[in-house]
Amino acid sequence: MRKPTPSRSSKVGLPPGTPVHIGKRKRESLQVAVLDYDENGYQERAVAGLEQCVAVTGAPGVTWISVAGVHDVEALQHIADCFHLHPLVLEDIANTDQRPKLEDYDDYLFIVAKAFDGDTGADEVNAEQVSIILGRNFVISFEEQESALFRPISERIRSGRGQVRRLGADYLAYSLIDAIVDKYFVVLEALGERIEVLEEELVTNPTAATLRVMHQLKREMILLRKAVWPMREVILTLSRAESPLVKQTTGVYLRDVSDHAIEVIDTMETYRDMVSGMLDIYLSSISNRMNEIMKMLTIIATIFIPLTFLAGVYGMNFKYMPELSSRWGYPTLWGVMLLAAGGMLLYFRKRKWL
pLDDT tens digit sequence for 281-316: 778 878 887 888 888 888 888 888 888 888 888 888
Return d(Cα 141, Cα 298) in angstroms, integer. 68
Backbone phi, psi, residue 226, to 5°: -65, -20
Domain boundaries 8-284, corresponding CATH code = 3.30.460.20
pLDDT of the residue at 7: 58
Whether 94 shows a pLDDT value over 70: the answer reads: yes
Q: What is the rounded end-to-end Cα distance, in angstroms, of the chain?
A: 60
pLDDT tens digit sequence for 197-253: 888 887 777 777 878 888 888 888 888 888 888 888 888 888 877 778 888 888 888
CB-based contacts of 76, cutoff 8 Å, min separation 6: 19, 30, 67, 70, 90, 93, 94, 142
Return d(Cα 69, Cα 129) in angstroms, integer. 11
Q: Do domains 8-284 and 287-350 have the same CATH topology?
A: no
User: Do 202 and 263 contact (CB within 8 A), yes or no?
Assistant: no
Whether 2 shows a pLDDT value over 50: the answer reads: no
CB atoms under 10 Å from CB of 281, counted, come to 17
Burial-class residue 297 by CB neighbours within 10 Å (0-12, 13-18, 19+). exposed
Domain 287-350, classified CATH 2.10.69.10, yes or no: no
The share of the chain scoring above pLDDT 70, in percent, equals 86
User: Do 116 and 224 contact (CB within 8 A), yes or no?
Assistant: yes
Backbone phi, psi, residue 103, to 5°: -130, 135
Confidence band, pLDDT 50/70/90 cuts, at residue 27: low
pLDDT of the residue at 120: 44
Residue closest to 264 by CA, chosen among 186, 340, 212, 150: 186
List the helix and strand counts (H, then E) for the chain.
7, 7
pLDDT tens digit sequence for 139-192: 888 887 777 888 888 888 887 777 777 888 888 888 898 888 888 888 888 888
Q: What angle do CA 105, 89, 56 make, to 5 degrees?
A: 70
- Identity of the amino acid at 259: D
Return d(Cα 15, Cα 325) in angstroms, integer. 104
Q: Which of 53-62, 70-79, 184-193, 238-247 has the highest mean pLDDT?
A: 184-193
- Residue 86 DSSP SS3: coil
Q: Where are the domains of the chain?
A: 8-284, 287-350
| Mean pLDDT over the full length of the chain | 79
For residues 70-92, give the mean pLDDT.
81
